[in-house]
């Protein structure tokens, strides 16, 4: 029944309904697995305390058997049968297309009065597009109309045409990024993700969201380029540019993470920050932009996959106790 409803939703293009059902299934699985593992942890602690003689051996021994009985009772009542497992796998397979299609759409990117604050072509830029949820952006961070958001570029040597519409995909790395790219992929750095998340939610210390916004954009864009290893390509900055050179945003991120190297480590989606990789109609790469994403069908599938891994372990435990 669940798979049928999701298939219908996907067929009529109702991603929200399909994703809602997937999320509900994931919550059920995670709750059951979490409760089981909580009992397992308590049993482990009982055994450790028993061996160390803490709290009285008899007391821990009695509580150990109580927890063990509760775990067995919980597992016996779990409604995760082989049919249920098969149904979840069917959902995962049947909605694979949904996960990939949910991030393939178009956007329009434009410059504004606060763009190019450093004379080097940097952001912020105003973006609007299909499938882009802007709920993570505070109103104070916006320059354009409702439904738009402000972004900054990641690559110094790639470009876009202001006012143009491009195809985009969402990822944790810039495609064909210049500095720090490995195998054609340049992951967003922790320093970049940390700063952009605060900019977007309107809490970035020292950032002027008012009349001085263009100047603030200048330093923030340079900080992003630094953490993405783009500044060596920029005349007047080079490889020596970094901590202590008068960029308060750069310095704040380095201080927060403890070192330049730590701030340049891969973010892998930390702080909800990802990359919009742009391509034109011919499939040619354009300048990648920053974005704070919200969980979609793809992330729900990942959570379900993790839940299934835990479920396999629980089922092995049940078979071993028979």
Answer whether the bond into residue 124 is a cis peptide, omega within 30°: yes
Domain coordinates in residue numbering, the chain: 2-99+298-321, 104-295
Half-sphere exposure of 184 (CA within 13 A, CB side): 3
- Nearest 5°: the CA angle 280, 151, 17 is 75
pLDDT at 69 over 80: no
The pLDDT score that the predictor gives to residue 233 is: 72
Token code pair at residue 278: 């742009």
In whole angstroms, what separates CA 271 from the centre of its chain? Answer: 7
- Angle made by CA atoms 171, 267, 273, in degrees to the nearest 5: 55
**Is the pLDDT assigned to residue 15 strictly greater than 90?**
no
For residues 28 and 129, the model is more confident at 129
Identify the CA nearest to 149 among candidates 276, 298, 318, 302.
276
Residue 154 neighbours by CB distance under 10 Å: 28
pLDDT of residue 158: 87
Q: pTM for the full model?
A: 0.61
Q: For residue 110, report the phi and psi dihedrals to the nearest 5 degrees.
A: -135, 155
β-partners of residue 129 are 107
Query: For 260-297, what is each residue's pLDDT tens digit?
Result: 999 999 999 999 999 999 999 888 999 999 999 755 44
Per-residue burial over 190-212, b = 16 or more CB atoms within 10 Å of its CB, e = otherwise: bbbbbbbbbbbbeebeebebeee
Sheet holding 273-279, edge to edge: 149-151, 125-129, 105-110, 164-171, 273-279, 285-292
Give percent above pLDDT 90 in the chain.
Answer: 42
Flag whether pLDDT at 320 surpasses 90. no
Q: What residue has token string 């991603």?
A: 15
């Amino acid at each position: 029944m669940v798979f049928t409803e999701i298939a219908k939703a996907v067929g009529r293009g109702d991603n929200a309904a399909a994703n809602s059902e997937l999320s509900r299934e994931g919550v059920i699985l995670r709750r059951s697995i979490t409760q089981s593992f909580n009992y397992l942890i308590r049993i482990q602690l009982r055994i450790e305390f028993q061996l160390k003689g803490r709290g009285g051996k008899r007391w821990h021994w009695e509580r150990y058997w109580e927890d063990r009985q509760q775990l067995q009772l919980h597992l016996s009542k779990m409604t995760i049968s082989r049919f249920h497992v098969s149904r979840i796998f069917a959902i995962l397979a049947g909605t694979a297309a949904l996960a990939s299609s949910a991030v393939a759409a178009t956007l329009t990117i434009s410059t504004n009065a606060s763009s190019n604050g450093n004379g080097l072509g940097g952001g912020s830029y105003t973006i609007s597009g299909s499938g882009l949820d802007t709920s993570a952006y505070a109103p104070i961070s916006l320059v354009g109309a409702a439904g738009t958001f402000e972004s900054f570029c990641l690559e110094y040597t790639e470009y876009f045409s202001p006012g143009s519409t491009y195809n985009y995909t969402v990822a944790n790395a810039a495609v064909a990024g210049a500095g720090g790219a490995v195998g054609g992929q340049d992951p967003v750095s922790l320093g970049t993700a940390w700063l952009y998340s605060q900019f977007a939610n309107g809490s970035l210390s020292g950032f002027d969201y008012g009349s001085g916004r263009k100047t603030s954009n200048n330093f923030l864009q340079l900080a992003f380029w630094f953490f993405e290893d783009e500044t060596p390509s920029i005349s007047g900055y080079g490889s020596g540019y970094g901590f202590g050179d008068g960029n308060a945003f750069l310095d704040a991120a380095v201080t927060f993470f403890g070192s330049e190297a730590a701030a340049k480590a891969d973010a892998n989606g930390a702080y909800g920050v990802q990359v919009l990789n742009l391509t034109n109609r011919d499939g040619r790469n354009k300048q990648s932009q920053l974005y704070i994403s919200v969980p979609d069908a793809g992330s729900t599938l990942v959570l379900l996959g993790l839940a299934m891994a835990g479920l396999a372990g629980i089922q092995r435990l049940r078979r071993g106790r028979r």
